[in-house]
Amino acid sequence: MLSRTLLRSSSRGFTSPWLGLLQKPLSMSCQTPVTICAALTPSRGTFSAFSTSPLRLNIPKPAELDEAESQVWDILASEFSPTALLVRDVSGGCGSMYAIEIASAKFAGLSVLKQQRLVNAALGHLVKNWHGLQLRTRAA
C-alpha cells in the first residue's frame, strides 16, 4: 500500500527514489558464481564400523574454489562434517574477506554465538589475516 504523500508527489511530477522501484520489476544479478553443496540423502554418505559417527556425509568440493577457499573448505569439512557448506572470497579475489555458510549436526542445541565461536576457533590462524568474515551457521 502506498502512502498518500507518495501518491500525491507522483501525481505532481515529483520524483522519489522509491517510485522507480515501485514501477520497475526487480531483477537481481550476481557477478560471482555461488555454489551451495548439500548432501540431502543418506545414500551419498558412507558408513564405517570404525568411525565415531555412524553416518558421515561427504560433500563434494566445488571445482571453482581457489587455493585459499579450498584451504578454508578443507578445515571446515574435516572439523564439522557439514551437511551444507559454502565458502566464497567476497573481497574481489585478494583474500581479505570471506562469506561462509555452514550447517552441521555439531551445532545442534548451541546458540548462534557458540556456533560461530566454534567456527572462529577452527579457522583462528586464518581469520587473523582477514579484514572481515560473513558467517552464517545453522544446526543440521
CATH number at residue 69: 3.30.300.90
pLDDT given at position 7: 52
**pLDDT digit string (tens) for 60-86?**
999 999 999 999 999 999 999 999 999
- DSSP character for 92? S
Is 23 part of any domain? no
Is 28 part of any domain? no
Is 16 part of any domain? no
Is 107 part of any domain? yes
**pLDDT digit string (tens) for 100-127?**
999 999 999 999 999 999 999 999 999 9
Is 66 part of any domain? yes
Lateral strand order in the sheet of 97-104: 37-38, 84-89, 97-104, 132-139
pLDDT given at position 93: 85
Number of domains observed in the structure of the chain:
1
The DSSP code sequence of 30-66 is -SS----EE--SGGGSB--TTSSSS-BPPPPPPTT--
- Domain holding 120, by residue range, is 37-139
Lowest mean pLDDT among 9-13, 52-56, 103-107: 52-56
Is 14 part of any domain? no
Is 49 part of any domain? yes
Interaxial angle between packed helices 67-80 and 112-122, expressed in degrees from 0 to 180 and rounded to the nearest 10: 120
Q: Give yes or no for residue 89 having a pLDDT over 90.
A: yes
Is 93 part of any domain? yes
Average pLDDT of the chain is: 74
Q: Which single residue is written with the C-alpha cell 582477514?
A: 130
